[in-house]
């Protein structure tokens, strides 16, 4: 049975569809949360000729997106754009009713683009941190829709995302599939228990393929396979130090990691 992960993504047994590489396709809200001790320790803002104002953090499940987005938002006094989790069509999708996958995916598409537009309407007074990249929506459309549904979805996607503001900086968090599976198992979240190991691997590969060709914004690729900035403060501080430096084009941060 197909399932959604914690980010509200549609999960599917049809992981092989990713290999077709048709493209890539996750809540609403803009908020500033309470400041954490981690953010307080590193207050130096990103610097350079012009600090990025619209920052996106992306990556597969359990790679640390939410944690890093929260810390950066607190550190930069930025607003957050949350991914979509309150999809009213999920129940029917879980029941595998005909057409439910398409309805659920279209809801995600509409909500995601709307939240980005609303958060960036006019001239935002400060930086904005998004938990997702809009193109991510296509990953899961390819996973869950049949050919006819996907063709219609693509028509709506092109219209709804036309002239959508693009990020200034994308931080892509990656990790080896076995590392992601270990983190999923450690978290022991009920929804995530339904995720097949092969799905984790296919999604990780899909992200890698997408970002290998990505040229929509400055990109920092962070390999988190050997570090754990969610659990280890020293790993987090080193990552924040790197993020305080400017990023131009595509750059890589490949830390060796800290000790447990």
Sorted by where each starts, the structural domains of the chain and their CATH numbers stand as: 15-253 (3.40.50.300)
Quote the pLDDT of residue 92.
83
* Mean pLDDT across 22-30: 34
| Tens digits of residue pLDDT in 101-138 | 899 999 999 999 999 999 998 877 789 999 999 999 99
**Are 82 and 132 a contacting pair, CB within 8 Å?**
no
pTM for the model stands at 0.76
Residue 200: pLDDT above 80? yes
Give the tens place of pLDDT for each residue, 167-190. Answer: 999 999 999 989 888 888 877 666
What's the confidence (pLDDT) of residue 186? 76
**pLDDT on residue 189:** 64
Per-residue confidence band for 244, with pLDDT thresholds at 50, 70 and 90: confident
Q: Look at residue 88 in the predicted model and tell me its pLDDT.
A: 92
Q: What is the pLDDT of residue 231?
A: 81
Residue 23 has pLDDT above 50, yes or no: no
Closest CA to 118 of 58, 183, 165: 165
pLDDT at position 257 is: 54
Give the model confidence (pLDDT) of 36-63 as tens digits. 333 333 333 454 457 889 999 999 888 8
């Amino acid at each position: 049975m197909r399932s959604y992960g914690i980010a509200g993504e549609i999960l599917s047994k049809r992981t092989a569809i990713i290999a077709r590489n048709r493209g890539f396709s996750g809540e609403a809200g803009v908020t500033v949360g309470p400041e954490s001790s981690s953010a307080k320790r590193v207050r130096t803002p990103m610097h350079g000729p012009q600090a990025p104002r619209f920052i996106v953090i992306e990556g597969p499940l359990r790679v640390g997106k939410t944690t890093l987005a929260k810390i950066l938002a607190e550190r930069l006094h930025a607003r957050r754009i949350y991914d979509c989790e309150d999809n009213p069509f999920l129940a029917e999708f879980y029941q595998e009713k005909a057409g439910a996958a398409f309805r659920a995916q279209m809801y995600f598409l509409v909500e995601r683009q709307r939240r980005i537009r609303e958060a960036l309407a006019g001239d935002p007074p400060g930086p904005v941190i998004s938990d997702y990249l809009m193109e991510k929506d296509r990953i899961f459309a390819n996973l869950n829709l049949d050919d006819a549904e996907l063709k219609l979805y693509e028509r709506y996607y092109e219209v709804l995302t036309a002239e959508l503001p693009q990020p200034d900086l994308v931080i892509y968090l990656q990790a080896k599939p076995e590392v992601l599976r270990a983190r999923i198992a450690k978290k022991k979240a009920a929804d995530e228990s339904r995720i097949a190991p092969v799905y984790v691997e296919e999604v990780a590969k899909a992200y890698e393929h997408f970002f290998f060709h990505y040229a929509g914004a400055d990109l920092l690729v962070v390999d988190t396979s050997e570090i754990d900035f969610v659990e280890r403060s020293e790993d987090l501080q080193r990552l924040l130090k790197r993020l305080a430096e400017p990023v131009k084009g595509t750059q890589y941060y490949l830390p060796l990691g800290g000790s447990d």
